[in-house]
Chain A
Amino acid sequence: MPKDQPNLDTSPPVSDEVRKTTCYMCACRCGINVHMKDGKVAYIEGNKDHPVNRGVLCAKGSAGIMQVNAPSRLKAPLKRVGERGSGEFEEISWEEALTLATEWLEPIRKEAPEKLAFFTGRDQSQSFTSLWAQGFGTPNYAAHGGFCSVNMAAAGIYTMGGAFWEFGQPDWDHTKMFVLFGVAEDHDSNPIKMGIGKIKDRGARMVGVNPIRSGYNAVADDWFGITPGTDGLLIMALIHELFKAGKLDLDYLARFTNASCLVNEDTKSDQFGLLMRDDDGEPLVIDRNTGHLAPWNGQGVEPDLSGTHRAAGVTHRPVFHLMADRFLDPKYAPEEAADKTGISASRIKRLAADMARVAFDEEIVLDRSWTDFRGKKHDKMVGRPVSMHAMRGISAHSNGFQTCRALHTLQIILGAVETPGGMRFKPPYPKPATAHPKPHGKVTPGAALNGPHLGYPHGPDDLMLHEDGSAIRIDKAYTWENPLSAHGMMHMVISNAHAGDPYKIDTLFMYMANMSWNSSMNTTGVMEMLTDKDENGDYVIPHIIYSDAYSSEMVAYADLILPDTTYLERHDCISLLDRPISEADGVADAIRWPVVEPDRDVRGFQSVLCELGARLGLTGFVNEDGSQKYEDYADYITNHIRRPGIGPLAGWRMGEDGLQDGRGDPNEGQLDSYIQNGGFWVSHVPEEASYYKPFNMAYQNWAVEMGFYDSVQPYIFTPYVEPLRRMQLAAEGHGRVQPPDHLRQQVKDTMDPLPIWYAPLSDEMIDCDEYNVHALTQRPMAMYHSWGTQNAWLRQIHGRNPLYVPTKIWEANGFEDGDWAKVTSPSGTITVPVAHMAALNENTVWTWNAIGKRKGAWALDKDAPETKEGFLLNHLIHELLPAKGDGMRWSNSDPITGQAAWFDLRVKIEKTDAPAADQSKPEFSPQESPVGKGPKSQAWKVGK
């Protein structure tokens, strides 16, 4: 070393201790190493042993240190003293807070438990919060899935036992062609990025189908800048091409899907369109060995795809014939799809040809033998290395459910699900709709609900309807308006409660859901509903209790605030009973634990529910002597028993011969074992069980051993979904429970048992020539909803959200840098800054989601750009469709699942003068901040 070079210590101490827990900067749930110095958080990095992120970590995760120390953190329980919405509160004690909550809730439970609406937003403890709501006895519980991605989740469950993210993933190690549909940066973020990296490393091909070419689409080898809402049509055209060319995995379809099952085609029968079944209720196929009928799962049966069966004078055909009829329909030809999708017929044809080539000419063969549920031994695993992923982009439309169904059907006809190089499920998935609970809603005053709220209906009898046809649930989930609303409809709760439709409620209790801002459609309307008073001067929604860790916009609208901790100050479990973190090769669950203690008077929300549940005497939350059953959430995580041998965590359970995986009794040292293991538990899928999971006996046996289910439950994929057909049959006039007349046609049209495409529902009700621009939002990879803005580091990356305008519209309006536009939808107008973006569908504008903030929230300065130029697109999206003149309130949702149709939005756009002080419109009065404001500068260093 030259003498003028300083002497540098290249081995400084890094930290006093590393505490390993689970991230919560978004929903991805990566493992993190929290480096501690002097008892404080000094640095956060990814955990290399963790199954989700293998050491990598996104911008949000690394910025966790700014979240844990954010000035926006709530400090103590709050009681409203000003008008709702003003943000004026007084701090109260926990005793006072819990007494108040008990005073409100106790009489409701005794008299009419449904008058509590308990909705938990971006909750990662749904198996716990739903148990609390069940114990209370209200049918009105759900989390945020209804306004997020329920179309994707429900279409996956009904079609093949799981969708993407928590359910399944591309076979990143083998796939040769990866097709990404729609906005997907928002879920499973690090695993997708890692997967894209693997694909790129191998030189495999990535195709992006998205109106916006940013993020993952920016690195796609081919980009299809599709028109929003037409993904389903593109997919149907691809399927059309593959059918037309016979590029189908017939062997796979025959053996592993209900394409081989026979359909009752007797139009006079009340079974018309349902599968023919034997006396045991098993669907029937024709066995190619004998030419005779046989149950689908009979030992040695070789199901036929082609043969027909004549019974009662009617010829019954296999599902596969119906599929051919549907998909060969000329209306799904690429030439027909080209105009609507904005993708030329030749590009659609080429994409179909590419998929066929990779699937069938570049197949992958793994030299692994396996045995299927019919007892047939296969000496190898044959893969069709085409993989896909999709999330909110294709699902947040009113045609999203059928679009997601079409996507899964495309995967299935290629034989690319649960085969090498295709898509792989993550244990405990796959799990078909029949293995999930049905919805429950029987209310008994003073007692628990009759079962779990959310589930998968199989027919009209499973809907949540009173005898008179009225809705049991406040959100009208599981009614004829949206029969398969498997995640509830949080976006309709406030609107319906305010309208008293189907009934009025007393207390709205919410957790982690910014409903008075970015988590609602029609944000202005929602604020009015929350503050509206009746003729007596009382609030129409009498009580609002809210739990959040931060000073969000919603805090100001509650009467009582139960302040939550940050994610590094709490216990949590990411449970197999809930939304697991497994990967295709292993089942896994994880915990959070207090790596630092709160320095404020706040408590983990779940621990608060343990105490509140005990005060209310809720079933499951008190011992026989009436005492509190779980001291706190950690106690619940350790000692709760869901069914014999099964608890919230599957690792380190107590067996007769010591600790064991999956099943076992509670173990007082369980959380310590998790902490010692880095905050997670993983058990690997045996190699012979790694593919064909629903059909593979080695997997089925392992799944029973692990406790996913109590007996082997092989099943076949269901491109033909009978529950949909059962709903249609009711609409055609069969059965005891039938839709009201005004919904019959909608049910017949949309609940097709095979995938269809129809235009977004609102297109029929508005002038599409006038509102000729599609408007979307997407979430930046470095932000998570509203949370990112309070983070000093992240808001320096995404502090502004102009409306991005494509070249055609930019030039037509003569826009220049710094210009503003008036953007109008049928339900509202906003005035916002614009920016040019060329890599964009020519009829689509977009902005970043949830950057815009209300003045006074999140401990930001009142002049922060988020509160000035920043804006929400939500003001343009109504929770109801335009009135049809029939006096009905039609929800702006998918008619099958009730998923909020955010991305159906159409607008018109015109240049306007910059508003005074560059303040975007609409503008809202500032809220009082219950936490003050952040510091003027910071130089963060906790070590010496």
Chain B
Amino acid sequence: MTTLPTSTDRKLGLVIDLDTCVGCHACVISCKGWNTENYGAPLSDQDPYGANPTGTFLNRVHSYEIQPEAAPAQLIHFPKSCLHCEDAPCVTVCPTGASYKRVEDGIVLVNESDCIGCGLCAWACPYGAREMDAEEKVMKKCTLCVDRIYNENLPEEDREPACVRTCPAGARHFGDFADPDSNVSQLTAQRGGMDLMPEMGTKPVNKYLPPRPKDQSLKEEVDILAPFLEPITEAPKGFLGWLDKALDAMPGGPKGGSN
């Protein structure tokens, strides 16, 4: 058993905007690239050019269809990585103390030199956010790019997780949820940011912004704010008659004239 800190100074995490994510997988690969070259063992790939390629990814995008009663089906792209839970069951289950939650910022990490590759943490995580690296036999997970966000070798503007820096649609936001004025706290408040599976009691730090309501134009009742266009006239030759009047009403008046 490994203990969690009773509280952390900061609560760093991500806000992921499901209204904006187009499912392009940019975050998935930029994460793979950074974390292969950086923190701990590389993220390996088995049978990478073969029949069943499987590799370690710390962030994956899943897609789900939703079929409302009386509206067209919708497709939701759902990026998923470690949520850096406040009550992280993956930490408490760890027999060696390799899994831990940092007291200064709440990031959940694996200390690979202490990891025995038993896989208990992956079983304990209700989100399936941990992946065992098949080559190195250590548990890999999102580090929130702990080797970027404080890295003095990077320009200050780049001190954010690789997935956030690369997201083309700007659907990913990084910040401190302990600060009510932070961008992530504000976004969560404004857009009704949600916990993933709150019933699990893990108190995830990462939040998801729900998609905005869709297909409003399908509503059959006439919307007084968006009525259909009124025809100018149904009479024959009516359009040209309207045109002459409309042109006369424009700057310069009848026959135009310089204005």
Interface residues of A (CB under 8 A from B): 1-2, 4-6, 8-14, 35, 37, 42-46, 48, 53, 55-63, 65, 71, 189-190, 193-194, 196-198, 200-201, 213-216, 218-223, 225, 241-247, 250-251, 254, 287-289, 291, 300, 302, 304-306, 320-321, 324, 328, 346-347, 349-354, 356-357, 781-782, 790, 792-797, 799, 807, 837-840, 859-861, 863-865, 868, 933-943
Contact = CB atoms under 8 A, between A and B. Distances in A.
B20 interface: yes
A63 B33 contact: yes
Nearest to B104: A1
Contacts of A287: 256
B152 to A, nearest CB: 4
Contact of A839 (B73, B113, B218, B223): B73
A940 B251 CA distance: 68
Given A45-B165, A215-B22, A302-B257, A939 B42 contact: yes
B127 interface: no
A250 B136 CA distance: 69
Given A57-B30, A193-B169, A219-B22, A250 B246 contact: yes
Nearest to A302: B256
Contact of B30 (A62, A201, A216, A790): A62
> Which applies to chain B's interface (DSSP): helix, strand, loop or mixed?
loop
Nearest to A33: B158
Contacts of A6: 100, 111, 113-114
Interface in B184-226: 211-212, 214-218, 220, 223, 226
Contacts of A11: 147, 150-153
B229 A245 contact: yes
Contact of A865 (B21, B22, B44, B51): B51
Contacts of B44: 937-940
B36 A244 contact: no
Contacts, number: 315
B229 A244 contact: yes
A941 B74 contact: no
Task: Name the residue in A42, A288, A942 with the highest tally of chain B Cβ atoms < 10 Å from its Cβ.
Answer: A288
Given A219-B20, A941-B42, A62 B33 contact: yes
Given A219-B21, A937-B47, A938-B48, A838 B73 contact: yes
A647 B180 CA distance: 55
B217 A354 contact: yes
Contact of B170 (A201, A302, A807): A201
B175 to A, nearest CB: 16
A33 to B, nearest CB: 9
Contacts of A861: 47, 49-51
Nearest to A351: B217
Interface in B67-120: 67, 72-77, 97, 100, 102-104, 109, 111, 113-114
A61 B214 CA distance: 31
A13 B153 contact: yes
B235 interface: no
Contacts of B257: 288-289, 302
B97 A288 contact: no
A550 to B, nearest CB: 13
B231 A245 contact: yes
Contact of B20 (A53, A200, A838): A200
A935 B215 CA distance: 48
Interface of B: 5, 17, 19-26, 28-30, 32-34, 36-38, 41-55, 57, 63, 65, 67, 72-77, 97, 100, 102-104, 109, 111, 113-114, 134-136, 146-147, 149-154, 157-158, 162, 165-171, 211-212, 214-218, 220, 223, 226-232, 239-240, 242-244, 246-247, 250-252, 255-258
B183 to A, nearest CB: 12
5 contacts: A56-B168, A244-B232, A289-B255, A797-B28, A943-B37
A792 B23 contact: no
Contacts of B23: 214-215, 218, 781
A943 B33 CA distance: 13
Contacts of A354: 217, 226
Contact of B136 (A242, A799, A868, A939): A939
A324 B17 CA distance: 44
B174 to A, nearest CB: 14
A781 B258 CA distance: 52
A346 B47 contact: no
Contacts of B46: 936-937
A-B pairs, top 8 by smallest CB distance, nearest first, are A288-B256, A934-B49, A838-B73, A245-B229, A792-B48, A193-B168, A197-B170, A10-B150
A218 B74 contact: yes
A218 B77 contact: yes
B76 A347 contact: no
A194 B169 contact: yes
B7 to A, nearest CB: 12
A349 B169 contact: no
Given A45-B30, A250-B246, A353 B50 contact: no
Given A5-B103, A6-B100, 15 more contacts: A200-B20, A218-B74, A219-B20, A246-B232, A250-B243, A306-B244, A321-B240, A793-B29, A838-B65, A839-B65, A861-B47, A863-B50, A935-B49, A937-B48, A940-B42
Contacts of A197: 20, 168-171
Given A2-B103, A218-B77, A838-B73, A59 B29 contact: yes
Contacts of A244: 229, 231-232
Contacts of B25: 58-59, 781-782, 797
Given A193-B169, A194-B168, A796 B22 contact: no
B49 A196 contact: no
A415 B180 CA distance: 44
Given A243-B239, A837-B65, A56 B26 contact: yes
Contact of A58 (B55, B151, B168): B168
Give the interface centre of A321, A839, A865 by most chain B CB atoms within 10 Å.
A839
Given A781-B22, A933-B49, A938-B44, A43 B34 contact: yes
A178 B223 CA distance: 21
B194 to A, nearest CB: 17
A349 B231 CA distance: 11
Contact of A59 (B28, B49, B216, B242): B28
B255 A288 contact: yes
Contacts of A351: 217
Contacts of B170: 194, 197-198, 200-201
A8 B146 contact: yes
A55 B166 CA distance: 7
A312 B115 CA distance: 95
B229 A242 contact: yes
B215 A223 contact: yes
Contact of A48 (B53, B77, B157): B157
A222 B214 contact: yes
Nearest to A303: B256
A45 B169 contact: no
A4 B97 contact: yes
B45 A793 contact: yes
A223 B72 contact: yes
Contacts of A794: 29
A46 B166 contact: yes
Given A65-B33, A941-B37, A222 B258 contact: no
B150 to A, nearest CB: 4
B59 to A, nearest CB: 11
Contacts of A305: 243, 247
Most buried by A among B47, B97, B167, B211: B47
B30 A42 contact: no
Nearest to B234: A244
Contact of A196 (B22, B97, B113, B151): B22
A121 to B, nearest CB: 24
B212 to A, nearest CB: 7
Contacts of B150: 10-11
A938 B247 contact: no
A838 B68 CA distance: 11
A135 B234 CA distance: 61
